[in-house]
Structure 1
Amino acid sequence: MSERTREDSVYEELGVPPVVNAAGTKTRIGGSRIRSEALEDMRRAAGEFVELGDLQARASELIAEVTGAEAGYVTSGAAAGLLLSAAAAIAGTDVALMDRLPDTGGVPDEIVMPRTHRTGYDHALRAAGATIVDVGTNDHHLGTGATNVEPWEIERAITDRTVAVGYVQKSYTQPDLSVVAEIAHENDVPVIVDAAAEVPPVENLSAFVEAGADLVVFSGGKGIRGPQTTGIVAGKREYIESIAAQHLDMHVAADVWNPPEGLIDRADFDGVPRQGIGRPMKVGKEELVGLVSALDSFVEEDQQAVRDEWSVRVDRIADRLREGGLDVTTTEPEGASVAPEAVVSLSGVETSARDLVAALRDENPRVYVGADGIDAGEIVVNPMCLTDEEADYAVSRILAAVAD
């Protein structure tokens, strides 16, 4: 990168090494680049005050428009959205139970999940007080033709202690969401879908609701390119109402409690909810406005033009790496990636993938590449969060590290 770029870095000023992000929208390195229009709207929002409930109510309407859901809500990231979704499934509009969470002693709190949908992120569900009941096996990976979980296994696991069925949307997850939703709804329980990294494409904003999800959670700071500390929950109005009641600041006298219309119906509650389990996960007015702005831009932008830009960049990256003597293939968007990627095999060089990844991260600026395939001797270069200048820099550092 140019010296001018380095000199402009606020992280350099703070004495913290900046990162050239060739790994994609990873939370640990800051997610994605926030859209310039969202940043400007956040700046404007910072100069005024607003009732956050009113702003969330308006955001709910806008989220509903683009997702096809009954309502929506802005959270402090996708994990917070999962926690609040679980809290809504457990507590509903019971203000006494809301006040107890995460203590669920004596009340239904089970979320049924196929075993292969379990991830470290389901800690967010458990943090609300939920008990996860996993079903199925890993037999599909044995290559016998067996599936990991059969629909009947999910149905048999649902009891009078079940409050929801959990579902993680990935290319490999089974059964289809529509099948799971049908089973859940026949047993009068909702389906919570973790689709944090599943946009783009823009069509996915509505796909999970159309397939039967009662609550679907997206990250606001990945492909949508809103503030990193935002997430979106879209779904049934009754659950969004519970989320709002457990998240918004309710520290008011009953005589003046005036919850936002369209988001919370006061008649559904025995009294004013106290500070709920979601209170530590507040969303500021600036982040709310930034997310709404970014979501609008995401829906309106030319998705094909963005994909074409990524494709041109990844082809350029691959060509330069091949010129440097590396074995490189390019992929089409699939699996965990929404962008084409350059996959670099290090089988023919002395430097191991593990050593290369570590060396690149130890530089200043740090260079992050995709490292999920290091056990197979591969690294991945993702074009989503790179400028052309940064892509050239990342390639040069990879080639230099391999040559050392």
Structure 2
Amino acid sequence: MVNKATIYDELGVSRVINAAGTKTRIGGSLIRPEAVEAMSRAAESFVRLSDLQVRASELISEVTGAEAGYVGSGAAACMTLAAAAAIAGNDLGAMSRLPNTEGIPDEIVMPRTHRNGYDHAFRAAGARIVDVGNNDNYLGTGANSTELWEIANAITEDTVAVGYMQKVYSTPLLEEVVEIAHEHDVPVIVDAAAEVPPRENLSTFIDAGADMVVFSGGKAIRGPQTTGILAGKHEYIRSAALQHLDMHVAESVWEPPTELFDKADLDGVPRQGIGRSLKVGKEEIVGLIAALQSFIEEDQDTLNKEWESRLDIIDNELANLVGVTTRREPGGKLMVAPETYVEIDPETATLDTIELVGSLRKENPRIFVGSDDLLEGGFTINPMCLTDEETEYVTKRIRSYLE
């Protein structure tokens, strides 16, 4: 409820009404109640984290179709672990040196239009990104931004992986990129952090042949915000685990779960790997397991109807305002849920988009709307993280500035 006191009020910190969607900077999403309960119970006792990761791996494998899975401290952490696995493999010496990659292959080839701020996670493991292609699609020249031959031509003896940023408009097609990469014995890492729902996407990219796929655990899955899912081939999950789990242990009593890796295949106990700073707690792993189980059982049609009904409230409340136009944007492009796009004509409206969005953020509680299109004079309202009451409150506050 909008007027209900929260822990943030008690702490003297302005809380946020989230009309922007699952944005990390304002807390991601709301953890499912069943996940919160599971996390509370997990905090009551101890467990060997490697055993817990095995159980998580079984569930991730079941829902994605991947050979194995792993829980990291967010999608970005899983991208770093994926890159580290592609670079180091089973080489304990390489693991101990990362992110220093001197003398070993470390290049990840990516289409230029897939480059984004989040691929810093690859570079954090020591990878060097080699981007190919150009921006012809964006410029409208009629040519493709990246041709398959450009990816093939960029793969050399220093290439450890091909990186792929999954969106509905991503080109070339993933299946075609996988075919090229596998012809050169190179794995494909897919960043699909925000690509669920639909639930089917949990398996879509594995079915397309990707070797490692990364999902956020804290967006629509609604697990802890500090969780991510790495699904993929067993050899890469094994390497990620070796570089992530606590390895401060005497070899004589080290008996890791064989489902993750076989001690007999290793020269010894790895040093603390690059994943040490990315550790995830027992509570988060359990919370992610509970959230993922609930997510795959969720009735998506019912959820879609809830989202659409909230957008009906928004559209009705913002109708007939001078200088304001709205349109319904279907889900599936940049966001998984449908949104209302609001455009403001600064010549006829009482204030422009930047003033409005900035003013909303200064209120108490703060109101965050989608701000990716500010320079084009528009903003979005996303229903994913709103209640019906909050939806009405947000639209009334917007009207108060525009009437």
CA drift of 1:402 comes to 2.4
> Alignment partner for residue 341 of structure 1, among 339, 342, 349?
339
* Cα distance in 1, alignment partners of residues 354 and 74 from structure 2: 30
* Cα distance in 1, alignment partners of residues 254 and 226 from structure 2: 28
Q: Provide the residue aligned with 1:331 in structure 2.
A: 329
- How do 1:75-114 residues align onto structure 2 when only pairs under 5 Å count? 75-114=72-111
> Alignment partner for residue 67 of structure 1, among 64, 69, 92?
64
* Cα distance in 2, alignment partners of residues 179 and 349 from structure 1: 48
CA drift of 1:141 comes to 1.6
* Cα distance in 1, alignment partners of residues 90 and 77 from structure 2: 19
Tell me the TM-score normalised to structure 1 length: 0.97
Q: Which moved more, 1:52-61 or 1:254-263?
A: 254-263
Tell me the TM-score normalised to structure 2 length: 0.98
- 1:244 matched to 2:253? The reply is no
CA drift of 1:275 comes to 0.6
- What is the SS of the residue equivalent to 2:52? helix
CA contact (8 A) 2:321 2:402 kept: no
> Alignment partner for residue 195 of structure 1, among 189, 192, 205?
192
CA drift of 1:144 comes to 2.2
Question: For residues 132-191 of structure 1, what are the alpha-carbon distances to aligned partners after superposition, in whole Å with 9 as ceiling and x for unaligned?
Answer: 000000011221210100000000000000000000001221100000000111100100
CA drift of 1:290 comes to 0.3
* Cα distance in 1, alignment partners of residues 117 and 265 from structure 2: 34
* Cα distance in 2, alignment partners of residues 82 and 270 from structure 1: 26
- How do 1:118-267 residues align onto structure 2 when only pairs under 5 Å count? 118-267=115-264
- Are the structure 2 counterparts of residues 268 and 401 from structure 1 closer, same or farther at C-alpha, using a change threshold of 3 Å? farther
- What is the SS of the residue equivalent to 1:318? helix
Question: For residues 327-382 of structure 1, what are the alpha-carbon distances to aligned partners after superposition, in whole Å with 9 as ceiling and x for unaligned?
Answer: 21111113111111111111141311111111111111000000111111111100
CA drift of 1:312 comes to 1.0
CA contact (8 A) 1:178 1:211 kept: yes
Equivalent position amino acid for 2:358 in 1 = A
Structure 2 residues not aligned, in runs of 5+: none
Q: Provide the residue aligned with 2:373 in structure 1.
A: 373
Q: Provide the residue aligned with 2:287 in structure 1.
A: 290
CA contact (8 A) 2:2 2:390 kept: no
Equivalent position amino acid for 1:130 in 2 = A
CA drift of 1:400 comes to 1.3
Structure 1 residues not aligned, in runs of 5+: none
* Cα distance in 2, alignment partners of residues 379 and 192 from structure 1: 32
- 1:384 matched to 2:347? The reply is no
Give the share of equivalent positions with the same residue, in percent: 63
Q: Provide the residue aligned with 2:315 in structure 1.
A: 318
Q: Which moved more, 1:332-341 or 1:80-89?
A: 332-341
- What is the SS of the residue equivalent to 2:291? helix
Task: Give aligned pairs, total.
Answer: 400
CA drift of 1:306 comes to 0.7
CA drift of 1:386 comes to 0.2
Equivalent position amino acid for 1:72 in 2 = G
CA contact (8 A) 1:332 1:341 kept: yes
- 1:358 matched to 2:355? The reply is no
